[in-house]
Structure 1
Amino acid sequence: MIRLATADDLDAVVALHTEARATYYRGHLPDADFLGPEEVARSRAGWAAAVGRGTVLCAVRDGEVAGIAAYGEREGVMHLTQLHVLPARWRAGVGGELHTACVGIWRAAGVATARLEVFDKNERAQAFYAAHGWTPDPENPRDGDHLVLRLTLGPETE
């Protein structure tokens, strides 16, 4: 089931986000950059704000938050700011369902194009996004150590 996140989900959302990020940042960045108490507190504040805006979706499986996605508009462009799945739930369709839900929301709102940034060492996520129609953003293909991808929404995209 995909649903909007609520304040009651915040602990699960932050824990899932922290665990998922560790899988792709570990060995590439200092642990404090993604596991340190200051970073976890910053992350929690960001997730609380996004949940409050109503822009976080949860995938619930067997009574637990198994995946999360967050999106929002920046400078007139829709951004998929987060999409994470519990590592124990990888390859079970959770990410695809969250992606489909986001695309449906964007289409209903008249969004024609979306962007995202993905860590350049996270090849698993890059493959997921490519399989869902995301391509390098021709205007801005990189932002530091992240690739910038773009999705053009149309009837055949999803």
Structure 2
Amino acid sequence: MCSAGRTASLQVRSATPADLEAIARLHAAARAAYQHSRFPDAPFDTPAEHARGLAAWGRTLDRDDTPALCAVRQDTVVGAASYRHRTPTGAAAAPATVTLHQLHVDPRHWGTGVGRALHAACLHAWHAAGCSRAVLDVLWHNHRARAFYTGLGWRPDPGRRPAPDATHLTLTLPLAAPAAP
């Protein structure tokens, strides 16, 4: 099937507790795929890693302040994302900054538009919430993710240096207000 056809059948919706197992499974598979580029012989897609992801996503889905989305193709969860608004201290207005905590795609669906669809859904929600800036941390050695975010306009945050152990890089994306009709 061509990638355009695969993208057309994709739906992005709010994640629910019923999606937890599938999200944890794809998260573990995605982490294993990108970690193998740095540590080719280490086992990352293990029951312990899956349990850790299951617990983390369970906490995310239980939080009211951390929206989670999932991408579904033919009744199968193939991607997930979560983010959290950061309300400025002392500000009663809408949050100015949002942090993208997770965006993972099942490696079998890489390059088919799943990540872009999740990102577009996040952008839509962020604009609707009045956010003016988004930030995320990406693993320094995850060149695939870094290229993905760079292609979508994310840039290294000038206010944040890479982590002292050079494991993460903070990226930022200005969120311009949508043009008036």
Superposed pair shares fold, TM > 0.5: yes
Deviations 1:99-152 (A, max 9, x none): 010011111111111110111111111111011110000010312401110010
- 1:66 maps onto 2:74 in alignment: no
What TM-score do you get using the length of structure 1 for normalisation? 0.88
- 2:104 and 2:48 map into 1 onto residues whose CA distance is 20
2:132–2:177 CA contact under 8 A, matched in 1: no
- 1:86 and 1:124 map into 2 onto residues whose CA distance is 14
- 2:23 and 2:109 map into 1 onto residues whose CA distance is 15
The residue that corresponds to 1:150 in the other structure is 172
1:141–1:149 CA contact under 8 A, matched in 2: no
Letter matched to residue 50 of structure 1? T
1:18–1:35 CA contact under 8 A, matched in 2: yes
2:28–2:49 CA contact under 8 A, matched in 1: no
The runs of 4+ residues in structure 1 deviating greater than 6 Å are: none
| Pairwise CA distance, 1:14 | 0.3
Task: Indicate the percent of aligned positions where both proteins have the same amino acid.
Answer: 43
- 2:42 and 2:145 map into 1 onto residues whose CA distance is 20
> How big is the alpha-carbon RMSD for the aligned residues of Structure 1 and Structure 2?
2.0
Residues 27 and 97 of structure 1: is their aligned pair in 2 closer, same or farther, counting only changes over 3 Å?
A: closer
What TM-score do you get using the length of structure 2 for normalisation? 0.78
Residues 75 and 22 of structure 1: is their aligned pair in 2 closer, same or farther, counting only changes over 3 Å?
A: farther
- 2:161 and 2:69 map into 1 onto residues whose CA distance is 27
| Pairwise CA distance, 1:42 | 2.9
Matched residue pairs, number? 155
Structure ID, larger Rg: 2
Residues 64 and 154 of structure 1: is their aligned pair in 2 closer, same or farther, counting only changes over 3 Å?
A: same
Structure 2 residues not aligned, in runs of 5+: 1-10, 89-96
The residue that corresponds to 2:36 in the other structure is 26
